[in-house]
Amino acid sequence: MSERLWLVVPAAGRGRRMGGALPKQYLALEGQPVLAHTLARLHQAFPAARLCLCLDADDAHFDPAWVPFGQWRRSEGGSERADSVRRALEAIADDADADDWVLVHDVARPCVRVDDLVRFYAALKRNPVGGLLATPVADTMKRDDGRRHVASTEPRDGLWQAQTPQGFRYGLLRRALGEARVRGGDITDEASAVEALGLAPLLVPGRRDNIKITHPEDLALAGHILAAQRDEPPSSPGHLHEETP
Protein backbone atom coordinates (compact mmCIF):
# COMPACT_ATOMS: atom_id res chain seq x y z
CA MET A 1 0.00 0.00 0.00
CA SER A 2 1.37 3.50 -0.78
CA GLU A 3 2.18 5.82 2.10
CA ARG A 4 -0.56 8.13 3.28
CA LEU A 5 -0.60 11.50 4.95
CA TRP A 6 -2.29 11.89 8.32
CA LEU A 7 -2.93 15.20 10.01
CA VAL A 8 -3.16 15.19 13.78
CA VAL A 9 -4.56 18.41 15.21
CA PRO A 10 -4.33 18.71 18.99
CA ALA A 11 -7.37 20.80 19.96
CA ALA A 12 -8.02 19.58 23.49
CA GLY A 13 -6.30 22.40 25.36
CA ARG A 14 -8.11 24.58 27.88
CA GLY A 15 -6.29 27.81 27.06
CA ARG A 16 -5.36 28.66 30.64
CA ARG A 17 -2.88 31.37 29.61
CA MET A 18 -5.55 32.94 27.42
CA GLY A 19 -8.09 32.97 30.27
CA GLY A 20 -11.83 33.28 29.72
CA ALA A 21 -14.53 30.63 29.73
CA LEU A 22 -14.37 29.63 26.06
CA PRO A 23 -11.30 27.59 25.04
CA LYS A 24 -9.22 29.67 22.61
CA GLN A 25 -9.82 27.28 19.68
CA TYR A 26 -13.45 28.44 19.69
CA LEU A 27 -12.84 32.17 19.98
CA ALA A 28 -13.98 34.20 16.98
CA LEU A 29 -11.27 35.28 14.59
CA GLU A 30 -12.50 37.25 11.61
CA GLY A 31 -15.99 35.85 12.13
CA GLN A 32 -15.02 32.18 12.41
CA PRO A 33 -13.69 30.05 15.25
CA VAL A 34 -9.91 29.68 15.38
CA LEU A 35 -10.36 25.94 14.84
CA ALA A 36 -12.22 26.47 11.54
CA HIS A 37 -9.41 28.68 10.19
CA THR A 38 -6.74 26.14 11.09
CA LEU A 39 -8.61 23.22 9.53
CA ALA A 40 -9.36 25.25 6.38
CA ARG A 41 -5.64 26.02 5.86
CA LEU A 42 -4.69 22.38 6.36
CA HIS A 43 -7.39 21.28 3.95
CA GLN A 44 -6.28 23.76 1.29
CA ALA A 45 -2.76 22.36 1.49
CA PHE A 46 -3.66 18.68 1.82
CA PRO A 47 -7.22 18.03 0.60
CA ALA A 48 -6.74 14.25 0.41
CA ALA A 49 -5.15 13.81 3.84
CA ARG A 50 -6.86 12.00 6.70
CA LEU A 51 -7.50 14.07 9.78
CA CYS A 52 -7.53 13.05 13.43
CA LEU A 53 -8.80 15.87 15.63
CA CYS A 54 -8.02 15.63 19.36
CA LEU A 55 -10.92 17.05 21.36
CA ASP A 56 -11.60 17.18 25.06
CA ALA A 57 -14.09 14.50 26.14
CA ASP A 58 -16.27 17.23 27.69
CA ASP A 59 -16.02 19.60 24.72
CA ALA A 60 -19.44 21.25 24.34
CA HIS A 61 -18.46 23.73 21.62
CA PHE A 62 -17.25 21.66 18.69
CA ASP A 63 -19.33 21.64 15.51
CA PRO A 64 -18.47 19.03 12.84
CA ALA A 65 -19.57 21.54 10.18
CA TRP A 66 -16.18 23.21 10.68
CA VAL A 67 -14.33 20.14 9.37
CA PRO A 68 -13.72 20.37 5.62
CA PHE A 69 -12.07 16.94 5.31
CA GLY A 70 -13.85 13.96 3.77
CA GLN A 71 -11.97 11.43 5.88
CA TRP A 72 -11.69 12.39 9.51
CA ARG A 73 -12.18 11.12 13.02
CA ARG A 74 -11.95 12.54 16.50
CA SER A 75 -9.89 11.24 19.38
CA GLU A 76 -10.07 12.04 23.05
CA GLY A 77 -7.62 14.58 24.39
CA GLY A 78 -5.23 13.82 27.22
CA SER A 79 -4.07 15.89 30.16
CA GLU A 80 -1.04 17.30 28.30
CA ARG A 81 -0.52 18.07 24.62
CA ALA A 82 1.75 15.04 24.22
CA ASP A 83 -0.96 12.81 25.73
CA SER A 84 -3.48 14.15 23.21
CA VAL A 85 -1.14 13.41 20.31
CA ARG A 86 -0.30 9.97 21.69
CA ARG A 87 -3.98 9.12 21.94
CA ALA A 88 -4.57 10.31 18.39
CA LEU A 89 -1.86 7.97 17.16
CA GLU A 90 -3.55 5.13 19.03
CA ALA A 91 -6.89 6.11 17.50
CA ILE A 92 -5.56 5.71 13.94
CA ALA A 93 -3.51 2.57 14.66
CA ASP A 94 -5.88 0.26 12.77
CA ASP A 95 -5.41 2.19 9.52
CA ALA A 96 -1.98 3.78 9.75
CA ASP A 97 1.16 2.08 8.47
CA ALA A 98 4.56 2.62 10.06
CA ASP A 99 5.79 4.51 6.98
CA ASP A 100 2.82 6.88 6.72
CA TRP A 101 3.66 10.51 7.36
CA VAL A 102 1.95 12.23 10.28
CA LEU A 103 1.92 16.02 10.47
CA VAL A 104 0.97 17.37 13.89
CA HIS A 105 -0.31 20.95 13.83
CA ASP A 106 -1.58 22.97 16.80
CA VAL A 107 -5.16 24.13 16.40
CA ALA A 108 -3.89 27.36 17.98
CA ARG A 109 -1.78 28.20 14.89
CA PRO A 110 -4.44 29.38 12.41
CA CYS A 111 -2.11 31.70 10.46
CA VAL A 112 0.10 29.00 8.99
CA ARG A 113 0.44 29.63 5.28
CA VAL A 114 -0.75 27.07 2.78
CA ASP A 115 2.45 27.38 0.72
CA ASP A 116 4.55 26.80 3.85
CA LEU A 117 2.56 23.66 4.63
CA VAL A 118 3.16 22.33 1.14
CA ARG A 119 6.84 23.32 1.21
CA PHE A 120 7.27 21.73 4.63
CA TYR A 121 5.84 18.39 3.51
CA ALA A 122 8.05 18.41 0.43
CA ALA A 123 11.11 19.07 2.64
CA LEU A 124 10.21 16.17 4.94
CA LYS A 125 10.38 13.78 2.05
CA ARG A 126 14.07 14.66 1.66
CA ASN A 127 14.83 13.75 5.28
CA PRO A 128 14.25 10.26 6.66
CA VAL A 129 13.95 11.42 10.29
CA GLY A 130 11.22 14.03 9.74
CA GLY A 131 11.29 17.58 11.03
CA LEU A 132 9.50 20.75 12.01
CA LEU A 133 8.83 24.28 10.89
CA ALA A 134 10.94 26.70 12.92
CA THR A 135 12.37 30.21 12.80
CA PRO A 136 15.81 31.40 13.91
CA VAL A 137 15.67 33.37 17.15
CA ALA A 138 15.64 37.05 16.22
CA ASP A 139 15.95 38.83 19.57
CA THR A 140 18.74 39.23 22.11
CA MET A 141 18.30 36.53 24.72
CA LYS A 142 18.55 37.26 28.47
CA ARG A 143 18.63 34.77 31.32
CA ASP A 144 17.15 36.01 34.58
CA ASP A 145 18.50 35.49 38.07
CA GLY A 146 15.13 34.31 39.39
CA ARG A 147 14.28 37.81 40.64
CA ARG A 148 13.64 39.56 37.30
CA HIS A 149 17.15 40.92 37.00
CA VAL A 150 19.45 39.94 34.18
CA ALA A 151 21.94 37.24 35.10
CA SER A 152 23.42 36.88 31.62
CA THR A 153 23.00 37.54 27.91
CA GLU A 154 22.87 34.23 26.08
CA PRO A 155 24.27 33.63 22.62
CA ARG A 156 21.43 33.10 20.17
CA ASP A 157 23.51 31.62 17.37
CA GLY A 158 22.00 28.36 16.32
CA LEU A 159 18.82 28.83 18.37
CA TRP A 160 15.47 28.28 16.65
CA GLN A 161 11.90 28.70 17.82
CA ALA A 162 9.90 25.56 17.23
CA GLN A 163 6.58 25.87 15.42
CA THR A 164 4.14 23.37 14.00
CA PRO A 165 3.57 21.42 11.84
CA GLN A 166 6.01 18.82 13.01
CA GLY A 167 6.11 15.75 10.80
CA PHE A 168 7.38 12.22 11.32
CA ARG A 169 6.69 8.71 10.10
CA TYR A 170 3.86 7.12 12.07
CA GLY A 171 5.97 4.26 13.46
CA LEU A 172 8.81 6.49 14.62
CA LEU A 173 6.52 9.07 16.21
CA ARG A 174 4.50 6.47 18.07
CA ARG A 175 7.66 4.89 19.43
CA ALA A 176 9.16 8.25 20.38
CA LEU A 177 6.07 9.44 22.26
CA GLY A 178 5.63 6.03 23.89
CA GLU A 179 9.18 6.04 25.19
CA ALA A 180 8.84 9.66 26.33
CA ARG A 181 5.85 8.67 28.42
CA VAL A 182 7.75 5.84 30.10
CA ARG A 183 10.70 8.15 30.79
CA GLY A 184 8.43 10.85 32.23
CA GLY A 185 9.14 14.58 32.17
CA ASP A 186 7.79 17.38 30.06
CA ILE A 187 7.55 16.90 26.30
CA THR A 188 6.15 20.05 24.68
CA ASP A 189 6.59 19.00 21.05
CA GLU A 190 7.00 15.91 18.91
CA ALA A 191 10.54 16.76 17.83
CA SER A 192 11.89 16.61 21.38
CA ALA A 193 10.54 13.07 21.77
CA VAL A 194 12.31 12.08 18.54
CA GLU A 195 15.52 13.88 19.60
CA ALA A 196 15.53 11.79 22.77
CA LEU A 197 15.98 8.73 20.57
CA GLY A 198 19.26 10.20 19.35
CA LEU A 199 17.84 11.39 16.03
CA ALA A 200 18.11 14.86 14.50
CA PRO A 201 14.86 16.24 13.05
CA LEU A 202 15.21 18.69 10.16
CA LEU A 203 14.64 22.38 10.89
CA VAL A 204 12.57 23.68 7.98
CA PRO A 205 12.64 27.50 7.95
CA GLY A 206 9.16 28.82 8.54
CA ARG A 207 7.75 32.31 8.91
CA ARG A 208 7.26 34.40 11.98
CA ASP A 209 3.60 35.01 11.27
CA ASN A 210 2.79 31.35 12.09
CA ILE A 211 2.09 32.43 15.65
CA LYS A 212 0.55 30.30 18.34
CA ILE A 213 -2.38 32.00 19.99
CA THR A 214 -1.35 31.70 23.62
CA HIS A 215 -1.98 34.99 25.43
CA PRO A 216 -4.95 37.38 25.09
CA GLU A 217 -3.07 39.85 22.86
CA ASP A 218 -2.32 37.07 20.34
CA LEU A 219 -5.92 36.90 19.12
CA ALA A 220 -5.88 40.46 17.76
CA LEU A 221 -2.43 39.84 16.33
CA ALA A 222 -3.72 36.75 14.50
CA GLY A 223 -6.56 38.85 13.06
CA HIS A 224 -4.07 41.40 11.71
CA ILE A 225 -1.90 38.63 10.27
CA LEU A 226 -4.82 37.00 8.45
CA ALA A 227 -5.85 40.36 7.02
CA ALA A 228 -2.30 41.16 5.91
CA GLN A 229 -1.88 37.73 4.33
CA ARG A 230 -5.10 38.26 2.36
CA ASP A 231 -3.76 41.55 1.00
CA GLU A 232 -0.39 40.13 -0.06
CA PRO A 233 0.38 39.60 -3.71
CA PRO A 234 0.39 35.82 -4.38
CA SER A 235 4.13 35.60 -5.00
CA SER A 236 5.17 37.61 -1.94
CA PRO A 237 8.11 35.99 -0.13
CA GLY A 238 6.90 37.30 3.25
CA HIS A 239 9.62 36.88 5.86
CA LEU A 240 10.77 33.51 4.71
CA HIS A 241 14.22 32.57 5.89
CA GLU A 242 16.78 31.01 3.60
CA GLU A 243 16.55 27.24 3.34
CA THR A 244 19.24 25.62 5.45
CA PRO A 245 21.82 23.61 3.53
Ligand X SMILES: C[C@](O)(CO)[C@H](O)COP(=O)(O)O
Ligand Y SMILES: Nc1ccn([C@@H]2O[C@H](COP(=O)(O)OP(=O)(O)OP(=O)(O)O)[C@@H](O)[C@H]2O)c(=O)n1
Give residue 46's region: left, alpha or beta (phi > 0; psi -120 to 50). Answer: beta
Instruction: Tell me whether residue 154 or residue 162 sits nearer to ligand Y (CB atom).
Output: 162
Q: Please select the residue that binds ligand Y; options are 12, 39, 42, 104, rule is CB under 6 A.
A: 12
Choose from ligand Y, ligand X, none: what does 107 bind? Cβ within 5-8 Å by kind: ligand Y
* Beta pairing partners, 131: 167, 202
Q: Please select the residue that binds ligand X; options are 83, 100, 106, 218, rule is CB under 6 A.
A: 106
- Rule CB under 6 A: which of 164-223 touch ligand Y? 212, 214
Judge whether 73 and 31 are in contact, CB under 8 Å.
no
Instruction: Tell me whether residue 55 or residue 240 sits nearer to ligand Y (CB atom).
Output: 55
CA 205, CA 132: separation in Å to the nearest integer? Answer: 8
Q: Contact between 164 and ligand X (CB under 6 A)?
A: yes
Q: Contact between 88 and ligand Y (CB under 6 A)?
A: no
Q: Please select the residue that binds ligand Y; options are 15, 165, 205, 206, rule is CB under 6 A.
A: 15
CA angle 99, 49, 81 (to 5 degrees): 75
Instruction: Report in angstroms how near the CB of residue 106 gets to ligand X at its nearest.
Output: 5
Count Cβ atoms within 10 A of the Cβ of residue 132 and give its class: 0-12 exposed, 13-18 middle, 19 or more buried: buried
The interface region with ligand X, picked from 44-52, 57-65, 160-168, 174-182 by CB under 6 A, is 160-168
Contacts of 60 (CB under 8 A, 6+ apart): none
Judge whether 104 and 31 are in contact, CB under 8 Å.
no
Instruction: Tell me whether residue 80 or residue 115 sits nearer to ligand Y (CB atom).
Output: 80
Question: Which residues contribute to the site for ligand Y (CB under 6 A)?
Answer: 10-18, 25, 54, 77-81, 84, 106-108, 212, 214
